[in-house]
């Protein structure tokens, strides 16, 4: 006999003794009571028991009725419920109608089959000793109906649920799928007031034109270089939020940590217009930096920070780091909190130093998050967005700030041709999807899970 | 600039502390030699060194993070103190740390500029209405996609989520909006934003963590799926809905591109777009003020300058975010954690 079993035996014995003692105490108490009190107590107990039983019965009854109602509610007019027989018959035909009308084209579940009452009448068999079920024919009938419609009910309710989300499906169709039809404008010579049907079909003219003459090629090349440079710098600096999180995690004071997190994540929540406004406040001719330098006598003519094309890539990168660093770190901080603290404890006991802990525990643990974000960044290589570059662009830095998205906007909305812009738009979207698929494939191969 | 400096500092610090941290490795290699007096002494010294390097590391670390936090927060502070300080002082760069001669005339004056009131109303309306719609839609769709009974559930879920990964591009979008007669229409701010696949995924992941038996029990009681959603799911998923709400509020309030693309009617401009036009029209701002008739009442101390107007509008634009942000901060960190657990 094992230690454990012995213990169990002891436990049992203990419990037995306990219950004995309890009953003894009760009987002693009873003896102390007068006969009248005893009588009262027994009566009260009996009453309570009866009440309990009554309540249970009521609950069960109402529940069955509710169930039945809920299944009947949408399918049968209310008055039918009064008569169990008609209810039954009518319901069978009703259910069949529903099945054919709504379910069959969309649902591969079998249609409800008319079955004999007894074969599907399961509820009473569960508890044959309880009289109440047999005493209530209405409940029986309703119960039967419930079982029969159960299968088709799933389908109908499922379809009803679909009808409930249909408005959102339509919205998505309109604003995510339907715009794809805009790609056909890339094959026409579309000039806005004229309808598409009256426009001339030009085939691949716009695509050829993109690389047609040397001026166009040069411009396109510059735009692509800008796009690639910004994206590449963006990916290269995506390690900063990770380092930020790792080093912030080394701060022991929770309050200070939260404060830093709150402050550094704040710029992420303002728009690029606002960022530009701040840049203007600090770096314009009459901005803070120039005024300070001027007052200190270091410069006499204001330095052109914004209205120049020097270090455009660097400036853009700095602004996106300023805006995104703290927020980007939150993802990693969340990942760090999921690391098992015992891992750190064990490493500390082994004499691991702070940097060893960071190097061998923290960083490897958040590597998966980094990889996912890296893959997403690569998939979005061509999608720099338009906001940042649009607000910072001016006639001085146009050459180096114009990324693909901005170029599309400039060509299509302010420039020459909507159709040419649509062509570039289309090429960009297709290349993006191809990139995403490739990255996803690589992710599946290397990490064993897809990023989509 | 300072950012790169910080990173350099970080790297240098990293190397230096790593070097001084090596004694720790020695301890690890010979843990059983403590009784030997000479060695224990050296170990004690090394312990001290490790402690010292730890302290240095902490100081450097905290300093760098304080500087980073300051860099993020100071521009906002700078703008606010300059808008409430006497304009002649702020124009000459004397207001950098503490506000001088506090007044709020800039704000009352800016409010009188034509267009700002309408723009603020438009921004407020789109934020409130858009957020309500997005939160409701995300909650409802997120819930529906957890119900197994939903007809062709997997297909519709993919149908929604896949839209995260492609878009038609700016120009086809513009053409679509034009064809749908949504250009120069307030609804263009609301309708496209209602279905947000990212929020749907967030909410769905969260709702999946709610015990299924709760919904089943309610269904047994006779509640239909919408009642279950209203009375059980909605109250239980408040944290994630708050996260979705903050994303939506920030997104709607900050949105600039849709005004740029689809709106030409000035009475539908959002505050962000108005701010952008103001920054770009620095020189014509003085004229704007003249036309509004503010100049007549202005004395020399509170005279409007283009810079002061720009800054005041900026503060008005950013203030709601500054207010909303701390309230929701705890929520969205929670939400992101859920999201990161998912991915």
Mean pLDDT per 10-residue section of chain B, whose length is 343 residues: 40 39 39 46 62 87 94 92 84 81 84 86 94 95 89 89 85 89 93 92 87 84 86 87 87 91 91 86 53 46 63 89 78 59 45
Same domain assignment for residues B77 and B122: no
The CATH number covering residue A296 comes to 1.10.3720.10
Which one of B52, B84, B116 terminates a domain? B84
Residue A107: closest CA among chain B residues belongs to which residue? B151
Minimal C-alpha gap between B42 and chain A (Å) = 16
Do A215 and A153 share a structural domain? Answer: no
User: Cβ A322–B57 below 8 Å, yes or no?
Assistant: no
Same domain, A68 and A147: yes
Please give the DSSP secondary-structure letter assigned to residue B295: G
- Phi first, then psi, for residue A200 (nearest 5°) are -85, 135
Q: Is residue A270 domain-shared with residue A360, that is, in the same domain? A: yes
Let me know if residue B100 belongs to a domain.
no
Cβ within 8 Å, pair B250-A269: yes
Which residues in chain A touch residue B219, judged by CB atoms under 8 angstroms apart?
A: 70
Q: Which residues of B touch A338 (CB under 8 A)?
A: 337, 340-341
Across the interface, whether the CB atoms of B321 and A291 are under 8 A apart is answered no
**Within a domain: A192:** no
- Cross-strand pairs, A200: A189
Chain B residue with Cα closest to A271 = B254
Cα–Cα distance between B188 and B57 in angstroms, integer?
A: 52
CB contact, 8 Å: B77 with chain A? no
Domain containing A154: what range? 33-173
Nearest CA in chain A to B341: A335
Q: Judge if A40 and A103 occupy the same domain.
A: yes
Contacts of B155 (CB under 8 A, 6+ apart): none
- With residues binned 3-state (H G I as helix, E B as strand, rest as coil), the percentages for chain B, rounded to 5, are 80, 0, 20
Residues A221 and A315 reside in one and the same domain: yes
Chain A residues lying within 8 Å of B275, measured CB to CB = 273-274, 277
- The β-bridge partners of B294 are none
Asked whether residue A426 is domain-assigned, the answer is yes
Which residue, of B84, B119, B149, is where some domain finishes? B84
Pick from B182, B186, B200: nearest CA to B248: B200
Say yes or no: A162 and A241 in one domain. no
Contact A269 B61 (CB under 8 A): no
Using the beta-carbon criterion (under 8 Å), do B65 and A274 form an inter-chain contact?
Answer: no
Which residue of chain A comes nearest to B308, CA vs CA?
A281
Instruction: Provide the residue range defining the domain that includes B223.
Output: 106-342
What element of type H or E holds B334?
helix B306-342
Report residues of chain A scoring pLDDT below 70.
1-154, 416, 451-452
Partner residue facing B170 (CB), from A269, A355, A408: A408
Contact B159, A171 (CB under 8 A): no
pLDDT of residue A20: 66
Measured CA to CA in angstroms, residue A81 lies from A87, A119, A140, A178, B204 at distances of 6, 22, 12, 47, 38
B93 in any annotated domain: no
* Residue in A closest to B141 by C-alpha: A165
Q: Is B132 exposed, middle or buried (0-12, 13-18, 19+ CB in 10 A)?
A: middle
**Pair A118, A238 in one domain:** no
Tokens of B308: 């002061």
Residue A308 shares a structural domain with residue A398: yes
Asked if residue A68 belongs to a domain, the reply is yes
Same domain, A147 and A240: no
Residue A190 inside a domain? The answer is no
Question: Which residue among A158, A250, A321 sits closest to B151, beta carbon to beta carbon?
Answer: A158
Candidates A263, A269, A420, A434, partner chain B, best to mutate (most B CBs within 10 A): A269
Residues A128 and A215 in one domain: no
- For chain A, how big is the Rg over CA atoms in Å? 38
**CB–CB of A162 and B96 under 8 A?**
no
Alpha-carbon distance of B161 to B155, in angstroms, equals: 10
How many beta-carbon pairs below 8 A join chains A and B?
A: 301
Tell me the nearest-neighbour CA distance from A114 into chain B, angstroms.
Answer: 23
Instruction: Please answer whether residues B183 and B189 qualify as being in contact, where contact means their C-beta atoms are separated by less than 8 angstroms.
Output: no
- B98 falls within a domain: no
Q: Which of B168, B181, B257 to probe by mutation at the A interface, max A CB count within 10 Å?
A: B168
Binary contact (B175, A412; C-beta < 8 A):
no
Distance separating alpha carbons of residues A91 and A69, to the nearest angstrom: 12
- Give yes or no: residues B338 and B216 share one domain: yes
Query: Do B78 and B112 fall into the same domain?
Result: no
Judged by CB atoms closer than 8 Å, whether chains meet at B10 and A425 is answered as no
Cβ within 8 Å, pair A288-B226: no
Interface of B with A in 270-289 (CB under 8 A): 272-273, 275-276, 279
Contacts of A151 in chain B (CB under 8 A): none
Q: Rounded to an integer, what is the distance from CA A260 to the centroid of its chain? A: 27
Among all residues of chain B, which has the CA nearest to that of A284? Answer: B307
Whether B326 and B261 share a structural domain = yes
CA A243 vs CA A338, A358, B69: distances in Å: 17, 10, 15
Nearest by CB to residue B340, choosing from A250, A274, A331, is A331
How many whole angstroms separate alpha carbon B131 and alpha carbon B251? 9
Residues B313 and B208 in one domain: yes
SS3 A406: helix
B68 part of a folded domain: yes
Does the residue B182 lie in any domain? yes
Chain B residues touching A269 at Cβ < 8 A: 250, 254, 321, 325
Q: Say if residue B25 is in the same domain as residue B121.
A: no
**Same domain for B161 and B203:** yes
Distance from CA of A124 to the nearest CA of B (A): 18
Residues A161, A218, single domain; the answer is no
Is B11 in the same domain as B148? no
**Strands A200-201 and A188-189, bridge-based pairing:** antiparallel
Query: ipTM for the complex?
Result: 0.77
A294 in the same domain as A376:
yes
CATH code, domain with B160: 1.10.3720.10
Residues B225, B262 share a domain: yes
Q: Does residue B137 share a domain with residue B276?
A: yes
Q: Which of A318, A353, A366 to mutate to test the interface with B (most CBs of B within 10 A)?
A: A353
Residue from A103, A182, A238 whose CB has the most chain B CBs within 10 Å, to mutate: A182
* Residue A261 belongs to a domain: yes
Is position A188 within any domain?
Answer: no
Answer whether B195 touches A (CB < 8 Å).
Answer: yes
One domain for residues B267 and B193? yes
The number of domains in chain B is 2
B235 touching A (Cβ < 8 Å): no
Domain count along chain A: 2
Distance from CA of A303 to the nearest CA of B (A): 15
- A272: nearest Cα among B255, B73, B315: B255
Per the domain annotation, does B258 fall within a domain?
Answer: yes
Nearest residue on chain A to B259, judged by CA atoms? A387
Tell me which residues of chain B, numbers 97 to 136, contact chain A at a CB-CB cutoff of 8 Å. Answer: none
Asked if the structure places residue A14 within a domain, the reply is no
Yes or no, beta carbons of B58 and A390 under 8 Å apart: no
Is B96 among the domain residues? no
Same domain? B201 vs B325: yes
């Amino acid at each position: 006999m094992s230690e454990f079993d012995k213990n169990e035996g002891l436990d049992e014995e203990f419990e037995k003794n306990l219950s004995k003692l309890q009953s003894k105490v009760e009987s002693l108490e009873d003896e102390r009571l007068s006969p009248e009190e005893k009588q009262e107590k027994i009566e009260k107990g009996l009453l309570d028991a009866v009440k309990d039983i009554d309540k249970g019965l009521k609950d069960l009854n109402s529940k069955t009725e509710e169930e039945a109602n809920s299944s009947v509610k949408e399918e049968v007019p209310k008055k039918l419920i009064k008569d169990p027989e008609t209810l039954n018959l009518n319901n069978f035909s009703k259910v069949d109608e529903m099945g054919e009308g709504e379910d069959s084209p969309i649902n591969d579940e079998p249609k409800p089959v008319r079955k004999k009452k007894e074969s599907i009448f399961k509820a009473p068999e569960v508890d044959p000793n309880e009289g109440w079920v047999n005493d209530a024919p209405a409940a029986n009938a309703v119960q039967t109906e419930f079982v029969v419609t159960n299968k088709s009910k799933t389908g109908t309710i499922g379809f009803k649920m679909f009808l409930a989300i249909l408005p959102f499906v339509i919205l998505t169709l309109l604003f995510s799928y339907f715009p794809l039809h805009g790609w056909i404008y890339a094959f026409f010579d579309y000039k806005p007031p004229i309808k598409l049907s009256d426009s001339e079909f030009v085939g691949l003219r716009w695509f050829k034109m993109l690389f047609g003459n040397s001026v166009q090629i040069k411009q396109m090349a510059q735009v692509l270089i800008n796009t690639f440079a910004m994206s590449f710098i963006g990916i290269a600096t995506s390690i900063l939020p990770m380092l930020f999180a790792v080093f912030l995690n080394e701060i022991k004071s929770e309050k200070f940590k939260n404060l830093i997190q709150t402050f550094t994540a704040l710029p992420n929540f303002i728009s690029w217009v606002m960022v530009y406004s701040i840049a203007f406040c600090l770096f314009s001719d009459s901005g803070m930096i120039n005024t300070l330098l001027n007052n200190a006598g270091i410069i006499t003519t204001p330095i052109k920070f914004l209205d120049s094309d020097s270090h455009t890539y660097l400036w853009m990168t700095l602004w996106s780091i300023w805006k995104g660093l703290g927020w980007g770190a939150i993802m990693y901080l969340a990942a760090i909190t999921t690391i098992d603290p015992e891992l750190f404890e064990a490493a500390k006991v082994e004499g691991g130093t702070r940097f060893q802990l960071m190097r061998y525990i923290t960083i490897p643990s958040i590597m998966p998050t980094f990889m996912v974000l890296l893959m997403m960044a690569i998939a979005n290589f061509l999608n720099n967005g338009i906001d940042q570059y649009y607000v910072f662009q001016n006639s001085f830095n146009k050459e180096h700030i114009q990324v693909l998205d901005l170029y599309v906007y400039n060509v299509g909305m302010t420039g020459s041709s909507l159709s040419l812009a649509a062509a570039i738009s289309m090429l960009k979207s297709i290349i993006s999807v191809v990139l995403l698929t490739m990255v996803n494939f690589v992710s599946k191969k290397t990490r064993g899970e897809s990023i989509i | 600039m300072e950012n790169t400096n910080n990173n350099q500092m970080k790297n240098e610090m990293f190397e230096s502390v790593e070097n001084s941290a090596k004694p720790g490795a020695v301890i690890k290699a010979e843990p059983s030699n403590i009784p030997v007096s000479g060695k224990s002494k050296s170990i004690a010294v090394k312990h001290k060194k490790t402690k010292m390097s730890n302290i240095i590391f902490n100081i450097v670390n905290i300093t760098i993070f304080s500087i980073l936090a300051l860099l993020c927060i100071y521009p906002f502070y700078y703008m606010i103190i300059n808008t409430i300080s006497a304009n002649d002082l702020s124009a000459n760069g004397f207001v950098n740390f503490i506000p001088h001669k506090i007044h709020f005339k800039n704000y009352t004056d800016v409010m009188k500029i034509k267009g700002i009131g309408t723009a603020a109303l438009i921004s407020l309306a789109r934020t409130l209405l858009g957020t309500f719609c997005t939160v409701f839609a995300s909650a409802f769709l997120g819930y529906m996609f957890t119900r197994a009974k939903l007809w062709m559930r997997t297909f519709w879920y993919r149908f929604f989520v896949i839209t995260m990964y492609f878009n038609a591009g700016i120009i086809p979008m513009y053409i679509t909006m034009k064809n749908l007669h949504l250009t120069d229409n307030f609804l263009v701010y609301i309708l496209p934003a209602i279905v947000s696949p990212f929020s749907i995924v967030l909410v769905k992941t969260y709702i999946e963590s709610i015990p299924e038996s709760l919904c089943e029990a309610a269904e047994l009681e006779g509640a239909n799926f919408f009642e279950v959603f209203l009375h059980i799911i909605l109250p239980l998923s408040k944290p994630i809905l708050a996260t979705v709400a903050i994303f939506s509020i920030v997104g709607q309030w900050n949105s600039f591109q849709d005004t740029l693309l689809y709106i030409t009617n000035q009475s539908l401009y959002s505050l962000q777009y108005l701010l952008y036009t103001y920054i770009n029209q620095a020189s014509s701002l003085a004229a704007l003020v003249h036309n509004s008739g503010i100049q007549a009442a202005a004395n020399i101390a509170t005279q409007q300058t283009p810079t002061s107007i720009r800054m005041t509008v900026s503060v008005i634009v950013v203030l709601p975010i500054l207010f909303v942000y701390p309230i929701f901060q705890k929520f969205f960190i929670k939400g992101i954690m859920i999201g990161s657990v998912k991915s």
